[in-house]
Structure formats: structure tokens, C-alpha cells
Structure 1
Amino acid sequence: MRAQVVLFDGFDPLDAIGPYETLGAGGLQVELVTAEGPRDVPSGLAFSLRATARLDPLAAGLLVVPGAAGHDEDGVVALLGNAAETLKTPLRQALENNDLTVTTVCGGSLLLAMAGLITGRTATTNHLGLHALEAMGVNAVRTRIVDDGDLVTAAGVTSGVDLGLYLVEREVGARKAVEVETLFAHERRGTVWSAA
């Protein structure tokens, strides 16, 4: 199974790398992608990661959307707004793709909401953004992970590894998820809210 981790200018590195490593350890083919294709992408924390491919919203598998990082709330909101504008069309296509599950870490769900793509859906985000998510027409739930079928969202910045483990369990199986938990010496935290 393929997993694409979307990078954009100002992304939060931990939001991207946590799921990247966890999904890779779970046996998925993981790649860093951008809307523009291969390039060095500056994070919000003064270093860059290299995206190796163009985002393919029509592919099967998983798509991970991180949040943004910065030193003040207004800056983070501006980065998310810019990314929402740049990524709106491919993310809409991804959400319409029945063979793709869109996932987010931290402010990634805010990015989707700012783009107007998850109105009426159930999601979570960093506890500081729950009211903003709700104000944009999303059913915001204060929990670690929300599984709303083809949209799976995770709360704060450290939830990326938990999201990765949950997705490994959901897509590959519990045995593989336990193997990755053991490899990483990490015990998952929090509750998974599920539409089912």
C-alpha cells in the first residue's frame, strides 16, 4: 500500500515525520510529496525536507496532511491558509477518491477546513484549534484520533506516531502494529473516536 505525506511551505516536521516513519516501519511504501512535484520544502522550523514526487490525488492508499509550525498563532494560521489555497483542488480530488483515505495530523484538519473540504464531517485537531474547527462547520471531537471512514484525523503534534500505528493496524493488521510499537518502544495514547 502507498502512503503520500504532503509537504507545503511551513509544514510541521514532526507532523510529517512521525507518520512517515511509522507507516514505513509497518510495511507501507511512503513518500514525501508536494503539489508542485520534487523540491526542497522549508518547514516552519528553519530546515527543509526533500519531496521526491508530485501529490497524486487519484492514487489508492493513504494521504497524510500535516499541520504548520511557527512561533506564533497568527503565523501558523497564515501558513495553513496559504497551504489550503495551494492544495484545495488536489485535496478535494483526494477526498472524492474512493480508493484513498485522507488523514491529518494536528493542524492538518484545520487546513482541510480552511479549504472548505470537510464541512459537516467529524474531525479533531490540536486542542488550541478545536473551536476554530467547529466554527468552520466541522464536528470537532476532543480525542486523540477520529476515524470518520475515509477521513482519519489526529490531535496534537505528537499524535502522528499514534496515527501511524492506528493506520497500520487498520490497513495491515494488529500484529504488524504491535511489531512497530515494539520496534519504536512506544505505547499508543488516547481514544479513537469512530463513526462506526
Structure 2
Amino acid sequence: MLAQIVLFDGFDPLDVIGPFEVLCAGSDAVGGDLDVRLVALGKPGAVTSGTRGLRLKATHTLDPEAPGVVIVPGASGPIAGDPDEIDTIPVMIARLGGTALPALISRAFAAPETLVATVCGGSLVLAMAGLLEGRTAVTHPLGNPVLEATGVRVIEARVVDDGNLVSGGGVTSGLDLALYLLERLYGPRISHAVEQLFSYDRRGTVWHERGPVPLVA
């Protein structure tokens, strides 16, 4: 089974490294069954993040139909500014719509054994590319209004499970999302073992659309 974390120019490093470490520890806990990879949209190689020029190496090209999970991070950089002079987060997210990403993630959504997961602005990346209309998801609190404007039903939870789409809120939610993915793929004993290893208690509630609807006073 593969866990593929997508790298693109301007990616947020913590959106990538948090899930990467958690999933690698989970892989160790299941005897290496989970192959965790940093992947590129095109040819493998070094990819520059949006934080101080930090670079990570994509060792493989994204395989969207592979059984497992594809994780899309958000971008990092300035939130506002002259788009003709600097790459702001909105500019980077919009630019991704013109790459191979939308078509590849569409294929991942269509694959029966593949989950698509997002961290922080990753759900905005997919929503702005027209892939999440009518779905339920969350992103960073600053981006939730924009996410909603694209036709997404926004749930302000730490992690939102919408079937073959699992999304996390702010940047550090990548830890909680990855632990939940381990639980979903391998069960709670594996995710609990990784929590103990990292001395980290999961935060927030994982939202699912099941159970009774709460009564509103």
C-alpha cells in the first residue's frame, strides 16, 4: 500500500513533514506494509517549498490509482501582496489549476482503493481546481470562507472524513490527519502506538456524516 505526499513549488513544509513522519512510524508498526513516498507531479527531483527556500526531494512520480492514500499539502508564503511581484499563497494555489494536479487527483478520486487527503490549504488547492464542489471538507480557518464559496460544505473540525476525501484544518492538523489515516487503514492499535512513540495526543474530533443530527436550541 502506498502513502504518497505530493510536492509542488511553494508547498508548506510542515504539511508534508508532519504526515510523513507519522506515516513512516506507522509503516514500521505494521512491518513495512505502508510505503511512504514524497512524489512529484512530473519527474522526480528537488522541489522548493514556500518557506525560506527549503527543498525536499520527490523520489517518485505520483501514481494516482495506487491503493492507499494521496496527500495534498497546502502552500506557504505571504498571504497578500502584489501578485505581479511576489508569489502569494492565493497565486500559488491558482497556478496549480494549470498543472497536471487536477487531472491526477480526479483519477485518484475515481480509483476504488485510493483515498485523497488534504492538509490545511490542500483542500483549497483542490477546491480552486474545481474538484470538491458538493463535498464536505475543512481547511485553515482563514480559508474556510473561500472553500465554502467554491461549493464545499465546510465543517469546522480538526479532521473531516467525507468517504474517499479526508481533510485537515490548520497546519499542525497534519499530525492528527495522519494518525487518523493510520487508524482508518490499519486500526486504532497502530495509531495509538504511534501516538505513544511521539508522545502526542490527538487533538479535536474527526467529523463523519453518521449518527443522529444534533438538536439546535
- TM-score interval, normalised by the smaller of the two chains: over 0.9
Q: Which consecutive unaligned segments of at least 5 residues does structure 2 have?
A: 28-33, 82-87, 211-217
- The two structures have a TM-score, normalised by structure 1, of 0.97
Structure 1 position 101 matched with structure 2 position 115: yes
Residue 156 (structure 1) aligned to one of 165, 170, 173:
170
> Any idea what SS the aligned residue of 1:40 has?
strand
Tell me the alpha carbon deviations over residues 125-160 of structure 1, each in whole angstroms, 9 at most, x when there is no partner: 000000000000000111100000100000000000
Tell me the alpha carbon deviations over residues 102-128 of structure 1, each in whole angstroms, 9 at most, x when there is no partner: 000000000000110010000000000
Residue 64 (structure 1) aligned to one of 71, 82, 107:
71
> Residue 45 of structure 2 aligns with which residue?
39
Tell me the number of residue pairs that the alignment of Structure 1 and Structure 2 aligns: 196
Q: Is the 8 A contact 1:9 1:83 kept in 2?
A: no
Runs of 4+ in 1 over 3 A off after TM superposition: none
**Deviation of the 1:58 alpha carbon:** 1.4
Bigger Rg, structure 1 or 2:
2
> Any idea what SS the aligned residue of 2:64 has?
coil
Indicate the structure with greater helix content.
Answer: 1
- The two structures have a TM-score, normalised by structure 2, of 0.88
Q: Is the 8 A contact 1:15 1:160 kept in 2?
A: yes
Q: How does 1:124-135 map to 2 (within 5 A)?
A: 124-135=138-149
Please provide the CA RMSD for this pair. Answer: 1.0
CA distance, structure 2, for counterparts of residue 121 and residue 73 of structure 1: 27
Structure 1 position 13 matched with structure 2 position 13: yes
> Residue 193 of structure 1 aligns with which residue?
207
Q: Which consecutive unaligned segments of at least 5 residues does structure 1 have?
A: none
**Counterpart code for 1:157:** V
Residue 172 (structure 1) aligned to one of 183, 186, 190:
186
**Counterpart code for 1:65:** V
